[in-house]
Structure 1
Amino acid sequence: MSSNDEVREQKATRPSPRVLARQLDARKRILEAARGVIGDLGFAGAQVATVADIAGVATGTIYRHFTSKAELFSEVLRAVCERELDVVRAIAAEEGRTAAERLHDAVFTFVARALQSGDLAYAVIVEPMDSEVDHVRLAARRGLADAFAALIREGISAGEYPEQNAELRGAAVVGAFLEGVVHPLEQSLLTLAEREEVGEEIAQFCVAALTKRA
């Protein structure tokens, strides 16, 4: 086959801009619908048929975009986790503030946002998942741990914290605020003041845990 034939073949199989736009729109609606269904029913209760109905597409359309239910839910989870990780990283990167101040605010903000999300946050943080989906959650936790470890190293270098294993302490901080938010998420909808109170309590605990060597 000549190079000209290959080019013509590629053009023939490439979707037109209009078709591509429809495909991207359908994918976006599917992901938005899946996020809503997971928030309402959790990962275990969410069904592809329900997602398709809400997104306004056929069930087969979903499987043209995602090879399985696990892949769809993994993509939803990845988007949620990446957004929250971006928020934490943005706070951690703020200039002109101590590492302890940024660590406090990163924990406080994560907790407050989780409590505001309610059932979706509970599903993401607590609910058992298929191994393929849970792999995404574990990767997100590692990302959070790395972000907090970097803050702890900054605090050590600045003399705010004593010498300690930043990687282990960063992972412990993530474990502390993720576990700390579970019980509040199980309660009825919290007011803004209650969410802030929980966030402040957990943030203060995490900051205090780093001030002593042992």
Structure 2
Amino acid sequence: MESRLAERRAQILGAARSLVAEAGYRAVSVPAVAKRAGVSTGLIYNYFDSKAVLFDEVFRSATEHEIEACEAAARQSGSARERIGYVIETFAYRALAARQLAWALLAEPVETEIEQDRLRFRAPYRRIFAALIREGIDNGEITDQDEDVVAAAMVGGIVEALIGPLSAPPEVGDADRLIHTIISYCTNALGPMPEPNARQHTLGMESDHD
């Protein structure tokens, strides 16, 4: 029985996500989700108290999937700056490839409870960038700075830069240029590479500390 209930719940969530990906949050109704899932509208309310609760679950699962993709990009080989670029590239290309879903997750007007989750789920992205920035500082690749503040600014800037293109998708070449520009902006925001003497001094201080 538990397996059947879980399967039915996943079926409803899958239907809701596919509709959001096609038409956005505002265009999705509980009856439409029920029709797509092949269940009654009343049955959906046995699993989810409201459309907002249902979408909140869709939002959580979709966001967690995107975070996993960005975490995988951050684990690639390369310098801290290069891997920051990989994360931005991964996030942006995936958003542009699933434009309607990305718009719903990032910017579409939603209920307060969903907006709170939207803000909360930006925290993992900030942590990914902050960890890479701190690694770059420790390795002498990046000038010492507050990695949490810079990471928060990066996430906000990336989202803001994508909002317009998500509402009017660019051509492939324009998308490449857009993403390259965002990467350049974020990596330039880290400041110039430290001078060799400064880098050696930083690494020397770490060695003395150890």
Normalised to the residue count of structure 2, the TM-score between the two structures is 0.86
Query: Are the aligned partners of 1:26 and 1:57 in contact in 2 as well (CA < 8 Å)?
Result: no
Task: Report the residue type matching 1:210 in the other structure.
Answer: L
Could you say which residue in structure 1 is the equivalent of 2:179? 199
Query: Are the aligned partners of 1:39 and 1:119 in contact in 2 as well (CA < 8 Å)?
Result: yes
Matched residues in 1 for 2:66 and 2:184: separation?
A: 20
Matched residues in 2 for 1:64 and 1:197: separation?
A: 47
Partner SS for 1:45? coil
For the pair 1:138 / 2:156, whether they are aligned, the reply is no
Could you say which residue in structure 2 is the equivalent of 1:183? 164
Structure 2 unmatched runs, 5+: 194-210
CA deviation after TM superposition for structure 1 residue 65, in Å: 1.4
For the pair 1:160 / 2:125, whether they are aligned, the reply is no
Instruction: Give the number of equivalent residue pairs.
Output: 193
Structure 1 residue ranges, 4+ long, deviating more than 4 angstroms after superposition? none
Partner SS for 1:44? coil
In the alignment, which of 55, 66, 70 is matched to residue 88 of structure 1? 70
Could you say which residue in structure 1 is the equivalent of 2:201? none
For the pair 1:29 / 2:11, whether they are aligned, the reply is yes
Matched residues in 1 for 2:107 and 2:126: separation?
A: 17
User: Percent identity, aligned pairs only?
Assistant: 37
Query: Are the aligned partners of 1:37 and 1:46 in contact in 2 as well (CA < 8 Å)?
Result: yes
Could you say which residue in structure 1 is the equivalent of 2:208? none
Normalised to the residue count of structure 1, the TM-score between the two structures is 0.84
Could you say which residue in structure 2 is the equivalent of 1:98? 79
Structure 1 unmatched runs, 5+: 1-18
Once the two structures are superposed, what CA deviation does each residue of 1:27-66 show, in whole Å capped at 9, x if it has no partner?
1221111112222332223211110111101112111111
CA deviation after TM superposition for structure 1 residue 191, in Å: 4.1
- Pairwise CA RMSD of aligned residues? 1.7
For the pair 1:118 / 2:134, whether they are aligned, the reply is no
Query: Are the aligned partners of 1:100 and 1:207 in contact in 2 as well (CA < 8 Å)?
Result: yes
Once the two structures are superposed, what CA deviation does each residue of 1:56-98 show, in whole Å capped at 9, x if it has no partner?
011121111112221111110011111111111112223x421
Could you say which residue in structure 2 is the equivalent of 1:208? 188
Matched residues in 1 for 2:32 and 2:15: separation?
A: 9
Partner SS for 1:81? helix
Matched residues in 1 for 2:11 and 2:56: separation?
A: 16
Matched residues in 1 for 2:74 and 2:114: separation?
A: 27
Matched residues in 2 for 1:167 and 1:212: separation?
A: 18
Matched residues in 1 for 2:123 and 2:3: separation?
A: 35
